[in-house]
Structure 1
Amino acid sequence: MKKGFLMLAAVAAMVFTSCKDNAADKVNEENQKEVAERDANSSGAPVMKFDNEMHDFGTINEGDVVEHTFVFENTGDAPLVVSNAKGSCGCTIPTWSKEPIAPGEKGEMVVKFNSNGKPNNQMKTVRITANTESGQEMIKIKSFVTPKAGGAKTGNPVSKVQKTSTQPGHEGHNHD
């Protein structure tokens, strides 16, 4: 009984597949091509594409607070939602819109950098948590911060001062 059913199913399959000029088959093939091309070109997820992922503030003075607005576009197929953004240190503060960014729309992320206590070359990152395929994106800022007068110096070695005890019984002993 099972063999007969399988044979009947096989014959039916051959009959249905042998009709190559069937219009429904052509439409189905075209739909499959279209879906395959669309899937190859997009993952169905939002894509956060920045105009520029790095900003150089150039030379600034220690204590300056500077900011830059990073512009990005959602080049994906679904609304983009940024759930968090965090600077690599407390001196780097990002702010952004909490509303979803529709496909094809642009958004902004403002990054503020406080150079107080941050002399010399500085490179900071902002890690962005979003509903993109990778789940995390990153932007960077950099600057050379001119130290305050009397503050940290560049290239000066720190000399070590030796102390000796003046307590009785400890004359001439080094107590680093």
Structure 2
Amino acid sequence: GADGHTFFTVTNTGDKPLIISKVQPSCGCTTPEWSQDPIMAGKSAKIKVGYNTQLVNPFQKMVEVYSNDPKNSRSVLYIKGTVTADASPVAKS
């Protein structure tokens, strides 16, 4: 299977620019992508998180997001799901 991905939306509800300084996955099979540009007050940005879909199994991943938010400089995001085998088409005779 190919690698899967999901997106998290981060919204700046404060009155100063929000800077995401680091996005730390719990393991090497999870790969985050995010913009280093400040998120202005009232604006949003996305964090893309890729994960390995090679194993047919339930999975749970954690990603820590570090920012300059004075009240919550560390946030934790969770990805939970199940990788299923591809359905094979059945040939009709």
Paired position in structure 2 for 1:87:
25
More helix by share: 1
Which amino acid in 1 is paired with 2:50?
K
Which amino acid in 2 is paired with 1:143?
G
| 1:69 CA displacement | 1.7
Paired position in structure 1 for 2:90:
none
Equivalent position SS for 1:109:
strand
Aligned-partner Cα distance in 2 for 1:114–1:128? 20
State whether structure 2 residue 50 is matched by structure 1 residue 120: no
Which blocks of at least 5 consecutive residues in structure 1 are unaligned? 1-62, 148-176
**Deviation digits for residues 115-166 of structure 1 (CA, Å, limit 9, x no counterpart):** 22x442100011001111221011111121237xxxxxxxxxxxxxxxxxxx
Alignment root-mean-square deviation, CA: 1.7
Aligned-partner Cα distance in 2 for 1:66–1:120? 13
Paired position in structure 1 for 2:48:
110
Paired position in structure 1 for 2:77:
139
Paired position in structure 2 for 1:96:
34
Paired position in structure 1 for 2:91:
none
The one of 58, 67, 70 aligned to 2:8? 70
| 1:66 CA displacement | 0.8
Question: How many residue pairs get matched?
Answer: 85
More strand by share: 2
Equivalent position SS for 1:98:
coil
Report runs of 4+ in structure 1 exceeding 6 Å deviation: none
**Deviation digits for residues 80-114 of structure 1 (CA, Å, limit 9, x no counterpart):** 00000011111111110101111101111001111
Larger radius of gyration: 1
Taking structure 1 as the reference length, the TM-score comes to 0.45
Taking structure 2 as the reference length, the TM-score comes to 0.81
Higher relative contact order (CA 8 A, sep 6+): 2
Assess if the C-alpha contact under 8 Å between 1:91 and 1:115 holds in 2: no
